[in-house]
Structure 1
Amino acid sequence: MDFSCSIFWLTALICLAFFYVKRKFNYWKRNGVPFVVPKFPFGNLQVIQRKDHLSQRLATFYRERKQDAPMLGIYFFLSPVLLVNDLDLIRHIFIKDFQYFQNRGTFYNEKHDPLSAHLFNVDYEKWRPLRSKLTPTFTSGKMKFMFGTIVSVANEFVECLNKTIQVDCEIEVNEWLGRFTTDVIGTCAFGIECNSLKDPNAKFRQMGKKVFDQPKLGAFERMLIITCKSLAKLLRIRIHHTDVTDFFLKIVAETVAFRENNNVQRNDFMSLLIDLKNAKKEEDRLTINEIAAQAFVFFLAGFETSSTTLTYCLYELALEKNKHIQDEARREIFAVLEKHNGQLTYEAVNDMVYVDQIINEALRKHPPASNLARIATKNYKVPNSDYTIPEGMFVLVPVYAIHHDPDYYENPEEFDPTRFSPEQVKQRQSCCFIPFGDGPRNCVGIRFGMLQARIGLAILLQNFEFSTCSRTQIPIKYSPKKLVLSPENGTWLKVNKVT
């Protein structure tokens, strides 16, 4: 009797689970939205043993269904997610109807993981006043103040590369560029000389790499922070390793204390944060943990995305079929420098139009932020549709797929900087090119990131010639494990001094 009862309840439980999963996987069909057939248990977005980057998976869905599906239903595990393929709808989500999509939906745990509560992650109520406080850091005036610091680090980069290529002219450029941008951000954000160009094992470099190369969360925890944030917070799940958190909290506390005790004033990010800590109005003040979180995200975003972008620039310019682009860029750099008395000034960098186009083309073809997410903060009736996006639903914008759409970019796999001539840019919709997002929640540090990339690329091309070698991976492959679109196993190039 007991055995029969057990079989009955087990069978009933299996049937209930089956019908529950079936109903969840029928969400898009019930709502009349075109969808990709999911597979149990991952849905359409596999997170374990993935062979390709998420952006490439979404690009496949985009290519297959774009013509008949301006929005496409997919599933992350059992949760429905809306993939937006239409540029007009993307513009509504990012800009026109921003009030319905104010949050990214990314997980943060301010109490148990203070570094996670930064500008990129926090919800609208905390984001809006924080954004307005931090925006003054990235004005043109502030960029001019930081310009000399970036150039100084770039010149040190040249010295280190000169010594290195005398021993071996084949180098892994992604690692070197990461060390360059780490030193730039360490100086501009923390006022600290990281010295990772001279010492690849410098602590700042180690901590930065650990965040991206050794993710703390396993597959189950990643699922939980996306599908059930409240439970994840209850379980005290942390995104960042304890030693990473301890390192940055300690560095920030020591830096703030030193500057305040010695009345040190600098035109950098940390000075602005300290001013906010000591603001007259209590509602404008930041705690030491809040300062650490903002400095931390500025550091991570500044070193990883900029170094990756520069890596893709050098890779593309090194290819034999693109050597004429590298030569043209170098001619422009020399011509502009001659015009500015041989000095790399702020005005000189801004005069390097073709260099800027090369960076934009690298961002188009290999966007580090290859997918963008928003979460509906209230029900949203999709224009020209019968469907209403419910509050709490994730919306994904496939940046990589849009940037590779032949309807917007002819021969999208070709590297062609002239796509970003003023004439061509005017002919395209703005949401065709969104490496930094768009609308109120776009990247606050666009100016700084682009300035760092322009200086880095200009000084490197001024001093070195780049070409492929036997260890260059052609075509380049993306790491399926990293959130940022990064080259797998590094990028090896041959580097020779310009004579």
Structure 2
Amino acid sequence: MVLLTFALLGVAVALLYNFYQYTYKYWERRGVPFEPPLPLVGNMKGIGSKYHFRDVNQRIYDQFKGKAPFAGMFMFLKRVAFIIDLDLVKQVLIKDFKAFQDRGVFNNVRDEPLTGHLFTLEGEEWRSMRHKLTPVFTSGKMKHMFGIVVEVGDHLTTTMGNAVSAAAGVGGDVEIKELCARYTTDVIGTCAFGLECNSLADPNAEFRAMGRLLFEKPRHNQLIQTFIFTNAKLARKLRLKILNDDLNNFFMDAVRNTVDHRVKHGIKRNDFLDQLIELHAENENEARQGKGIDLSKGLTIEQMAAQAFVFFIAGFETSSSTMSFCLYELALQQDIQNRLREEIENALKDVPNGQLTYDAMGQMTYLEQVLSETLRKHSIISHLLREANEDYKVPGTEQTIEKGTTIIIPVHNIHHDPEIYPVPDRFDPSRFEPEAIKARHQYAYLPFGDGPRNCIGERFGKMQAKIGLISLLRHFKFGVSDRTEIPLILNKKNFPLSTKNGIHLKVERI
């Protein structure tokens, strides 16, 4: 019996060793430069504790830049082609997009319909959904929603005024990030769900609470989350879910009740949900039979809820972070803040009642530069993900990226490459003057991705961030308080760029 036990143990050890050799020697066998992985964790040692993804990416980027167009690495057991050469970035995102159409991100439409949104869908399902949603985000549609966002911007000004009054006894210190998050929550809640969220008036309002729940109280512990995100297809076969049940029920009910109310009473608001209602299924009660989704007759209520949900999660967090990082940089550089405020006032001086208009905002070229530099220096998403859906011969090499390989394009690290952006930690909006843009590689700036699978909500995200910034800068001056961190301490656990302790600034009425 003892001998049998030792024999079985020996077989198990041999199998594990062979598995390790087969898995982690992959890039070596193919002659691709790579960073040697560690058992089980691959190249992810310290992720979420000592390191953020951008730190891991920086290590790989620095090791192999100039030596190869791409390098090999491992996210735990998953092989990854880490793209370094900007011409190859262009091939992956644009020229050879067909080979890299999918992201390989987890979704489980059957058991968790809210995960069946544009960001996660693949193949024909993604193409059909993208085709249906593209008209929703045209500049014409943005103009329709502009007035709604401006109204929320007015509420932001009022709430900031209250915060400034309350902060008078503590040197004018205001925590900016939470206030910006309440603003974007109200914008998205209004435009995507047609509901008055009242987050600005009440920091504990239900929509804001759901936003916190999404990022602060995940369904699973970090180990299971890691398994799901790095083994999306297997996790789907195991019928795992990623969203908290309360969160899922809240968003499903919010969309279902609002759609029913609008359809019943013939209500039109010219917002995102109105556009989804126009795409509503002809027969919403027709059962979805198991595998995949059917968009031939329009969107079902579940599919509408999924698109509204991703609009919420992609819109409120990224735009609020961008706004708060922007205000932080303006507080540190008063000359840039003053120049931007002057541009805003000049653009609005001849507008009736000084009311912000879509066309007036379009004239604010320096605002566009400031926002672009914010998105460069503070890249909210550290990298883009793609998955090879066929074997791909890398141009100019003898290498092939095999089907099923995950692709990482390290946006943060490209944005902080001193050969592309000299003194990358310096905040300098002049980097985005027309001549400076022309002098750089076209794919050296990727805050919204690029190609057919770029961020469909780019126009809306930039619009709500600009309206929020304009509303605040017209009425308040931002500076450094006793609690302002220089530099900011960043959170290593959240995938989107975020600070560990918020962003504290001194705010004064103008």
User: For this structure pair, what is the TM-score category when the shorter chain's length is used for normalisation?
Assistant: over 0.9
TM-score under structure 2 length normalisation: 0.94
Matches within 5 A, 1:270-349: 270-279=273-282, 283-319=296-332, 322-341=333-352, 342-349=354-361
Alpha-carbon distance in 2 for matches of 1:20, 1:407: 40
Alpha-carbon distance in 1 for matches of 2:195, 2:110: 27
1:455 and 2:467 are equivalent in the alignment: yes
Letter of the 2:78 partner, please give it.
S
> Which one of the candidate residues 264, 270, 280 is aligned to 1:267?
270
Partner of 1:221: 224
Preserved CA contact (<8 Å) 1:183 1:196: yes
Cα offsets for 1:88-116 (capped at 9, x unmatched): 00100000000000101100000111111
Partner of 1:434: 446
User: Offset of 1:355 from its aligned partner?
Assistant: 1.0
Partner of 1:33: 32
1:181 and 2:192 are equivalent in the alignment: no
Cα offsets for 1:178-205 (capped at 9, x unmatched): 0000001111111111000010011111
Alpha-carbon distance in 2 for matches of 1:215, 1:362: 29
Partner of 1:497: 509
Distance 1:90 1:157, change over 3 A: same
Alpha-carbon distance in 2 for matches of 1:282, 1:247: 24
Distance 1:426 1:113, change over 3 A: same
Preserved CA contact (<8 Å) 2:415 2:424: yes
**Moved segments of 4+, more than 6 Å:** none
User: Offset of 1:139 from its aligned partner?
Assistant: 1.1
TM-score under structure 1 length normalisation: 0.96
Alpha-carbon distance in 2 for matches of 1:258, 1:271: 12
Partner of 1:416: 428
> Which one of the candidate residues 358, 364, 378 is aligned to 2:376?
364
Preserved CA contact (<8 Å) 1:48 1:219: no
Name the Cα RMSD after superposition.
1.5
1:93 and 2:105 are equivalent in the alignment: no
Distance 1:237 1:135, change over 3 A: same
Bigger drift between 381-390 and 49-58 goes to: 49-58
Alpha-carbon distance in 1 for matches of 2:385, 2:234: 21
1:252 and 2:255 are equivalent in the alignment: yes
Partner of 2:65: 66
Cα offsets for 1:72-94 (capped at 9, x unmatched): 11111122111100100010000
Letter of the 1:190 partner, please give it.
F
Preserved CA contact (<8 Å) 2:54 2:412: yes
Classify the secondary structure of the residue corresponding to 1:109: coil
Partner of 2:14: 15
1:476 and 2:497 are equivalent in the alignment: no
Classify the secondary structure of the residue corresponding to 1:277: coil
Preserved CA contact (<8 Å) 1:52 1:478: no
Letter of the 2:503 partner, please give it.
T
Classify the secondary structure of the residue corresponding to 1:283: coil
Cα offsets for 1:224-254 (capped at 9, x unmatched): 3244334312332111100000000011110
Letter of the 2:188 partner, please give it.
I
Distance 1:282 1:447, change over 3 A: closer
Aligned length: 495
Alpha-carbon distance in 2 for matches of 1:468, 1:56: 27
Preserved CA contact (<8 Å) 2:70 2:82: yes
Preserved CA contact (<8 Å) 2:128 2:295: no
Structure 1: runs of 5 or more not aligned:
none
1:355 and 2:367 are equivalent in the alignment: yes
